[in-house]
Amino acid sequence: MTYDRRPAVVAIDMGYGHLRAAHALAEPLGVQVLHVDRAPLADPREQERWARSRTFYELISRGSQVPVVGRPLRAVLDALTAIPHLYPYRDLSAPDLSIRALRRMIDRGLGAGLVEELKRSGRPLLTTFYAPALIADHAGLDRIDCVVTDTDIHRIWAPILPRRSKIRYLVPSQRAMRRLRVYGVPPAQIVVTGFPLPPGLLGGPDLAGLRARLRERLVRLDPTGSFRAMYRDELRLFLGHVPEGRSSAPQLTFAVGGAGAQAEMVELFLPRMRPAIEAGRLRLALVAGVRKPVAEFFKEQIHRAGLEGHEAVRVLQAESVPAYFTAFNTLLAETDILYTKPSELSFFAALGIPLVCARPVGHHERLNRRFLLEAGAGFKQWDPRHTAQWIDEWLLDGTLAAGAWSGFMRLPKTGTYRILELLGYSVDGDGRARSPSA
């Protein structure tokens, strides 16, 4: 009998963050993403338990964005996602209520299907969500890799007894590494890799595709040519020849999260954006993910703004999460400015796409925003009603071009390939993983 020794890539449908990272790793490995909350890993009773948690999260996430009446829900969300100050460094390994509650659920059988499948197949676990890692670790399994999907994380990511754990953490930032250390995870079990970005947007370990797209993007983000003139030598050194002159209008992509939060912002900025779109100064894509009601809302706002049928305005919505990721990655290849809440998409600024941060949803997203601001790769939104005006200002003075360059230079881009190498796979020039030798 031949056994599949490729990792079991496991995630959960709890927002797009965990799934997006999982799909970026599953693609070069040539495996399917398994959901800890779906068959075959979860029976109907366990699926219902996960579904209740997801419904609660989505309700809190969307409701927290409603003006005035959403304030109590925002306070609840902040309490659930609260991360203590890192400084001064101190021992934060004591388990809190959330990890104790998860442990009780595991003791009562949560994740039994996952454990059974891992024991049956003998496959190592590669997960982008904390619960599968903690479940497998509690069951005494080894070869557990957990990919962290935020720049800073809650105590629930680490086991109750972290110093006895066999989990290896693959983290996207130095701060996440420091956080796990104060939670009691041994330093030898933490590796800073960067976030796993989609291979198709990288173009292989030499990042040829990324560099080619960044050369074109900088032309669109620098209509006056002032940024390219100032950094001519540096650009040539890292990117090769960057064209001079002007190009087509930059592409602004506005994306909502998996829970559909902040879709109503389109109603604020779209009417005043019409002159810039009609004058050919800006192109717009509105991303609804897999949520058809959000897509319908976007189309209604486009109609009200008098932009229905305009070639520079489009809506992206897909019927399934994998189809959405494929379409979104294709859109990102031509996106010049990404406007979204600072979720896992914060790490996509490493592709040389400046990120405009909408209001964070939860404490972890505030820390993601700080990560972007400190790197010079992201910006806080101004008044959403006047988005077209402040975007135009940032284009003319080179702010967005500088943000694209800072993201490319300062943020890790090769997380996908580093993680594959840590798993024992070699990576071809085309970015495909080759199986480790026996």
Place of tokens 């927002």: 15
pLDDT at residue 58, rounded to an integer: 59
Q: Is the pLDDT of residue 16 over 60?
A: yes
Q: Is the pLDDT of residue 253 over 80?
A: yes
**H or E element at residue 415:** helix 415-422
Choice among 62-66, 118-122, 152-156, 420-424 with the minimum mean pLDDT? 62-66
pLDDT digits (tens, 9 = 90+) for 178-209: 999 999 999 999 999 999 999 999 999 999 99
Predicted confidence band at 247 (pLDDT cuts at 50, 70, 90)? confident
pLDDT at residue 4, rounded to an integer: 65
**H or E element at residue 253:** strand 251-255
- Torsion over CA: 400, 404, 406, 412 (sign): positive
Q: C-alpha dihedral over 242, 243, 249, 253, to 10 degrees?
A: -20
- Select from 194, 307, 294 the least CA-distant residue to 254: 294
Predicted confidence band at 416 (pLDDT cuts at 50, 70, 90)? very high
pLDDT at residue 262, rounded to an integer: 86
Q: Is the pLDDT of residue 2 over 50?
A: no
pLDDT digits (tens, 9 = 90+) for 258-282: 767 789 999 999 999 999 999 999 9
pLDDT digits (tens, 9 = 90+) for 345-360: 999 999 999 999 999 9
Computed on alpha carbons and rounded to an integer, the radius of gyration of the chain in Å comes to 22
Predicted confidence band at 57 (pLDDT cuts at 50, 70, 90)? low
Q: How far is CA 395 from CA 80, 219, 235, in A?
A: 38, 11, 18
Task: Please give the average per-residue pLDDT across 75-80, as a whole number.
Answer: 56
Which 8-state DSSP code applies to residue 243?
A: P
pLDDT digits (tens, 9 = 90+) for 326-341: 999 999 999 999 999 9
Residue 250 CA to residue 30 CA, distance in Å, equals: 34
SS3 of 177, please? Answer: helix
Pairing type for strands 433-434 and 426-427 reads antiparallel
Q: Is the pLDDT of residue 393 over 50?
A: yes
Higher pLDDT: 369 or 259? It is: 369
Predicted confidence band at 438 (pLDDT cuts at 50, 70, 90)? very low
What amino acid is encoded at 402 in this protein?
A
pLDDT at residue 246, rounded to an integer: 85
SS3 of 197, please? Answer: coil
- Select from 24, 288, 57 the least CA-distant residue to 172: 24
> How many Å separate Cα 323 from the centre of its chain?
16
Q: Which two tokens stand for residue 4?
A: 């599949």
pLDDT digits (tens, 9 = 90+) for 93-109: 999 988 998 999 999 99
Largest Cα span, the chain: 66
Predicted confidence band at 397 (pLDDT cuts at 50, 70, 90)? very high
Q: Is the pLDDT of residue 294 over 50?
A: yes
The CATH code of the domain at 8-199+414-434 is: 3.40.50
User: Which residues in the chain are classed under CATH 3.40.50.2000?
Assistant: 208-410
Model-level pTM?
0.92
pLDDT at residue 254, rounded to an integer: 98
Place of tokens 């989609």: 198
The CATH code of the domain at 208-410 is: 3.40.50.2000
Place of tokens 């306070």: 75
